[in-house]
């Protein structure tokens, strides 16, 4: 029998990895915006809702 390419554990690990990457990216953007950085796309307005 062939093993399935996608199993539940692999999908959960991939989603967890994406969430960690997204969190670190938002943390870096939040830090940049707190230091006075400015984006034309309104990213600093979005990061103002982040509690950390």
Query: What Å distances lie between residue 18 and 4, 26, 33, CA to CA?
Result: 22, 12, 22
pLDDT tens column, 26-51:
888 888 877 777 766 677 777 777 77
Return the pLDDT at 8: 87
Q: Residue 47 in 3-state DSSP?
A: helix
DSSP letter (8 states) at residue 35 = T
């Amino acid at each position: 029998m062939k093993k399935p390419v996608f199993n539940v554990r692999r999908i959960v690990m991939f989603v967890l990895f994406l969430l960690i990457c997204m969190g670190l990216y938002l943390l870096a953007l939040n830090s940049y915006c707190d230091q006075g950085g400015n984006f034309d796309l309104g990213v600093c307005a979005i990061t103002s809702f982040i509690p950390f």
